[in-house]
Amino acid sequence: MNCHPAFTLQRSEPIESLGIEMQEYVHSKTGALHYHIAAENQENVFLVAFRTVPEDNCGVAHILEHTALCGSEKYPVRDPFFMMTRRSLNTFMNAFTSSDWTAYPFASQNRKDYFNLLDVYLDAVFFSRLDPLDFAQEGHRVEFAEPADAETPLVYKGVVFNEMKGAMSSPVSTLWQTLTRYLFPSTTYHYNSGGDPEAIPDLSYEQLIEFYKSHYHPSNAVIMTFGDIPVAELQQRFEDQALTRFEKLEDEIRVEDEKRYFSPLRIEEAYDLEQEDCSAKTHHVMGWLLGASIDLEQQLRAHLLSRVLLDNSSSPLRYALETTELGLSPSPLCGLEDSNREMGFMCGIEGSEPENAAEFEQLVMDTLQQVAETGVPQEQIEAALHQLELSQREISGDGYPYGMNLILSSLSSAIHRGDPIALLNLDPVLEQLRDAIKDRDFIPDLVRELLLDNAHRVRLTLRPDADLAKRRDAAETAALDKIKAGLTEKQRQAIIDQAAALEERQHQIDDESVLPKVTIADVPNEMRIPLGDGLKESDFSYDFYAQGTNGLVYQQIIMDLPELSEAELALIPLYSSCITELGCNELNYQDTQAWQSQVCGGIHAYSSVRGAIDDEQQTSGYMTLSGKALLSKQADLTELMFKTLTSVKFDELSRIRELVAQQRTRKEQSITGQGHSLAISAAVSQFAPAAALAHKLRGLESIRAVKELDDSLNDASVLQQLADKLAAIHQKLLAAPRRFLLVAEPEHQQELAATMAGQWQKQTVIEGFTGLNLAQTRSPVKQAWTTSTQVNFCAKAYPTVPVEHPDSAALTVLGDFLRNGYLHRAIREQGGAYGSGAGQDSADAVFRFFSYRDPRLTETLSDFDASLSWLRETEHEPQKLEEAILGIVSSIDKPGSPAGEAKQAYHSELFGRTADQRKRFRQRILQVSLDDLLRVAEQYLNNDNASVAVVTNPQAAAELDQQFDIIAI
């Protein structure tokens, strides 16, 4: 392994369980660290991270992350980051601000593209221009409500300002930020690294520049790479493009040890909830500060303890939190947080009342004391260790690229000057833990050491306040009025001039030729789609996909969805949860959860319904039971899945009641994070049968429905009726035709198939099955859904065509074309929304626009229409079409995990999306012309047929025109 002369190899270590070799290098001149993960994988990953330690709530690290990507020395264009997203075949591009680091990662399967992106990223972070107007756009600024009229009120604007208003509209985000403020009284974690909207306007441009100079330097950098590109070739680029121009900094940025409490702290604060009835909306959380996260042995001991206490319903602390009448369900803040320099352990409940705080704390402490005195069953400890091993072995990559997952999981250790190599090579420490847990006092001693005897403990009560938003808005208005009253004529004109200069900058046409690019000629001819085999073992038929799964086996049982009533269909999400969350065979739900933990890395059920490839009105649907396990546990997994499906019990009424409450809280919390998806779902809800069902099962309508259901279950007879309905659905599914899917390494096929055949071939399916039949629908809606939010989510949709129609490819490209050419500038840069876009959904035969965390409503809806006028009236360059096509092809070709790709291929086939069909569609994408875009826009995007849906607050909804149906969530 030859490295570049500017670097010194510190060490190298193979990690056999992951099939990688991890190498540590240091840049001799600056001290920059480089960790390279060598792997036989053509999806190469790059990340550069800086230790960033804010000392206030102004969001300097977050605003700098945004502003650094707005032009650099070598690439002096206004928006190189977003320009490169459309001049690239990347499989991942982003930037992150964490609590104590800021990272700039990307991934690509194309070497030319990888080095293009590398050059842009290195220049962006080490030689950023940081234009004051970019700071005003991305961070914050004041403008007059009418930018050229100094008589109108002042308002705050800025992308990060609005992003954080949206983020802090989430009670869970507020809960986390409040807890860490008290858990970390003196270090950087005390502050909101993303920025508190009340403090963001205090940040000056000069402070931003100073922070950049002190933090964005190679001496404070960690570079991490993954893939099959030789390390010397990578380091040559690092040296030539950036590092050679720097000298070593003497000052070292680090997070110091936190000051410790000598007695527990008990706090009560409020969060904004704009609704009349705020009962059962209080959160109670307890948090402990533990030891250093870079101590791998300490970290794994804490992880093991967290799993033993909280992993599932058989875990003592989770069981106590699930079954207590003090709240509705466990808090999302349950578990170990190990990304900070010192770890934190948290547990809590939501759906409570403020006066329950002391009882909640007593419940937690009593439960921990019980564990300390009596311990837990040995099989639970072994199951928790088994889960750690399984998570270590699984090759992920369906969310982030696999190499990115490895890098992000080890980044925190590198940032805190720990040992990221040891963090990835868990096997030696897992072996130590296997020996340690033989001591029956191991877990009781850990509970005492880390929790019971640990005085650095915070109990936080976060209660709702229906008037908080009004007071906050009034304070913001008063602050702006005070600023306006104190303005000189010169300062008023400066605000007007800045707004005009920013608008001019946003409309300027940059010379994009300075940026590197790939072209359609660089697109691979073929897309890789795993192919499975339909096989038979005795009388047992199944599909097998041979994939490199690193010793794991994946099993699925797929059943046709039966004909169900409207009421039964509405219960499908709850039914899907119940299958794996209730008891089965002779076991209650706690014992079943413990069995699952001992056997597998997760078992879950889900439904999927889609329109046909040539007619969105004709649908098909399936219920899938899915599980994964180590190969050594494959027979146990088969038995578990068989028993789960064939003998699940619907007589555990209190457990069903808990599951409904948990589903309610999860859905209510999803609004501010997934508001754009929910708005889109509402807008398309009457355009296709599958879309109508999705809106009822996963959309805004499902939130209303689960709230009504939850409220009704205080009546025991209603709860019994619900259980009977779930059991009836289950009987219909047991009579449905079944399919079986296996994904594993090829040498294990016969063994796995024989095991499954032995379990399943005796099962017979009842004759006379009738499949799902959904009512046809094709009509628009105009809806405003109201909730407690400081920002808006907008969507507009048009009926178009399904995927097999010749125009579906052009409509798909049109979405990226409109986003790249118009929507990004108008809605994000000028409007201040965190995000926006457009795209074709061929499954439901619709084209939809959306915005995300948006300060505007009607103006954004007007911008959706204006983008179509721009399309018709502008002379477009062929290069812009190519960029849109590249973006679509990049998303089509994006790889997943080996198992994930196999499962996607199989389920696509079920819905008619065969490998040949998917390849044909990709080829049609490559042939789309500008004339095609103009034609399909004119033909399909007609306002007479359009649907509109927004998620907003009641005050904003009241100002919409009377054609909107206003619906409270």
Largest CA distance in the chain: 89
My answer on whether 562 and 689 are in the same domain is yes
* H helix or E strand, kind and range, residue 348: strand 342-352
How confident is the model at residue 766, as a pLDDT? 65
Evaluate whether residue 924 is within a structural domain. yes
Using alpha carbons only, what angle is made at residue 799 by residues 794 and 800, rounded to the nearest 5 degrees? 120
Q: What is the secondary structure of 586-612 as a DSSP string?
A: T--HHHHHHHHHHH-S-EEEEEEEEEE
Closest CA to 137 of 195, 205, 57, 50: 205
Evaluate whether residue 489 is within a structural domain. no
My answer on whether 220 and 248 are in the same domain is yes
How confident is the model at residue 526, as a pLDDT? 87
Of 410, 431, 465, the last residue of a domain is 465
Pairwise CA distance, residues 285 & 270, whole Å: 13
How confident is the model at residue 773, as a pLDDT? 93
Pairwise CA distance, residues 409 & 401, whole Å: 12
Pairwise CA distance, residues 814 & 881, whole Å: 9
Helix ranges, 486-552 (H): 489-507
Helix ranges, 18-99 (H): 60-68, 80-85
Domain of residue 791, CATH code: 3.30.830.10
Distant-in-sequence, close-in-space partners of 667: CB < 8 Å, separation ≥ 6 = 702, 703, 706
My answer on whether 457 and 347 are in the same domain is yes
**Single-letter code of the amino acid located at 939:** Q
Query: For each successive 10 residues of the chain (969 residues), what is the average pLDDT?
Result: 92 90 97 97 96 97 96 94 92 95 97 97 97 96 93 95 91 95 97 96 98 97 97 98 95 94 97 89 97 92 96 96 95 95 97 97 98 95 91 81 92 94 87 93 97 98 94 94 95 96 90 92 91 86 93 96 96 97 94 95 95 97 97 95 96 96 91 92 98 97 95 94 97 94 95 93 74 95 94 97 98 98 94 95 97 95 98 95 95 92 96 96 97 98 96 93 92
My answer on whether 319 and 432 are in the same domain is yes
How far CA 323 is from CA of 318, 580, 584, 655, 658, in Å, comes to 8, 18, 19, 8, 7
Sign of CA dihedral 487, 493, 496, 497: negative
Closest CA to 410 of 339, 475, 507, 472: 339
Question: Token pair for residue 874?
Answer: 């502008």
CB 595 within 8 A of CB 587: yes
Question: Token pair for residue 640?
Answer: 């578990």
How confident is the model at residue 398, as a pLDDT? 79
Evaluate whether residue 310 is within a structural domain. yes
Evaluate whether residue 339 is within a structural domain. yes
My answer on whether 276 and 249 are in the same domain is no
CB 683 within 8 A of CB 795: yes
Closest CA to 163 of 703, 827, 853, 627: 853
My answer on whether 304 and 201 are in the same domain is no
Q: What is the secondary structure of 216-249 as a DSSP string?
A: SSGGGEEEEEEESS-HHHHHHHHHHHTGGG----
Evaluate whether residue 517 is within a structural domain. no
My answer on whether 240 and 278 are in the same domain is no
Of 406, 431, 465, the last residue of a domain is 465
Strands 540-546 and 738-744: parallel
Closest CA to 44 of 53, 54, 36, 34: 36
Pairwise CA distance, residues 134 & 71, whole Å: 9
Look up tokens 């002190």; give the residue: 214
How confident is the model at residue 765, as a pLDDT? 61
My answer on whether 392 and 364 are in the same domain is yes
Closest CA to 854 of 824, 834, 874, 883: 834
How confident is the model at residue 763, as a pLDDT? 66
My answer on whether 728 and 837 are in the same domain is no
Instruction: Summarize pLDDT for 876-929 with one digit per residue, the tens.
Output: 999 999 999 999 999 999 999 999 999 999 999 999 999 999 999 999 999 999
Total domains in the chain come to 4
How confident is the model at residue 275, as a pLDDT? 84
Instruction: Summarize pLDDT for 466-492 with one digit per residue, the tens.
Output: 999 899 999 999 999 999 999 999 999
Pairwise CA distance, residues 115 & 94, whole Å: 16
My answer on whether 791 and 892 are in the same domain is yes
What length does the chain have?
969
Pairwise CA distance, residues 640 & 634, whole Å: 10
Buried b (16+ CB within 10 A) or exposed e, 359-390: ebbebbeebbebbbeebbeeebbebbbbbbbb
CB 865 within 8 A of CB 808: no
Evaluate whether residue 371 is within a structural domain. yes
Evaluate whether residue 479 is within a structural domain. no
Look up tokens 């709240």; give the residue: 327
Of 465, 498, 513, the last residue of a domain is 465
Decide: helix, strand or coil at residue 964.
coil
Distant-in-sequence, close-in-space partners of 752: CB < 8 Å, separation ≥ 6 = 544, 553, 634, 742, 744
* H helix or E strand, kind and range, residue 545: strand 540-546
Strands 265-272 and 457-465: parallel
How far CA 441 is from CA of 378, 431, 454, 684, 829, in Å, comes to 11, 18, 18, 57, 59
How far CA 552 is from CA of 17, 542, 558, 841, in Å, comes to 12, 18, 20, 34
How confident is the model at residue 670, as a pLDDT? 87
How confident is the model at residue 425, as a pLDDT? 86
My answer on whether 245 and 271 are in the same domain is no
How confident is the model at residue 764, as a pLDDT? 61
User: Which region holds residue 752: left if phi is over 0, alpha if psi is between -120 and 50, else beta?
Assistant: alpha
Question: Token pair for residue 800?
Answer: 């178009």
The boundaries of the domain holding residue 129 are 7-254
My answer on whether 76 and 178 are in the same domain is yes
Pairwise CA distance, residues 341 & 359, whole Å: 31
Pairwise CA distance, residues 435 & 426, whole Å: 15
Residue 415, phi then psi, degrees to nearest 5? -60, -40
Look up tokens 């868990």; give the residue: 426
Q: What is the secondary structure of 559-575 as a DSSP string?
A: EEPBP--HHHHHTHHHH
- Burial class of residue 195 (count of CB atoms within 10 Å of its CB; 0-12, 13-18, 19+): buried
Question: Token pair for residue 335?
Answer: 């578990």
